[in-house]
Amino acid sequence: MEMNIFGKSVSWQGKTFSTYFTKLVNSETGEMRTFNVKFRQECDQPDIHECPCIIEVPREKMNLQESPIIDRETKEPVLDDEGNVRISRTIWVSDWEMKGPFIDHALDDWS
């Protein structure tokens, strides 16, 4: 499965971490969702300075984890505007291959 990977550096409690995410479209509903992407210890992660990039991940080398988002202070689930529990979606990757840089063509028709 080919994925566009976006990355950023985040500081928390005095430490800097690289975080990665992608956007995927549900083939049945057409709905687009954002997913966190985490790379297992047995494989490297993309260089944060090469993001955004396109990677290829064999389907058998990834899995999806869904869990409710919990408020750090109250320890209660975070609700959306409609009262539903917000869900965090994480794709865990154990093997991948770099396909190249992600090039945004959204402005190609503009001068």
Distance, in Å, from the CA atom of 46 to the CA atom of 6, rounded to the nearest integer, reads 10
Fold for 2-101, please state it. Answer: OB fold (Dihydrolipoamide Acetyltransferase, E2P) (2.40.50)
Q: Could you state, in order of their start, the residue ranges of all structural domains in the chain?
A: 2-101
Q: pLDDT tens for residues 52-81?
A: 999 999 999 999 999 999 999 999 999 999
Q: pLDDT tens for residues 36-54?
A: 999 998 899 999 999 999 9
Buried b / exposed e across 89-106, counting CB within 10 Å, b at 16+? eebebeebeeeeeeeeee
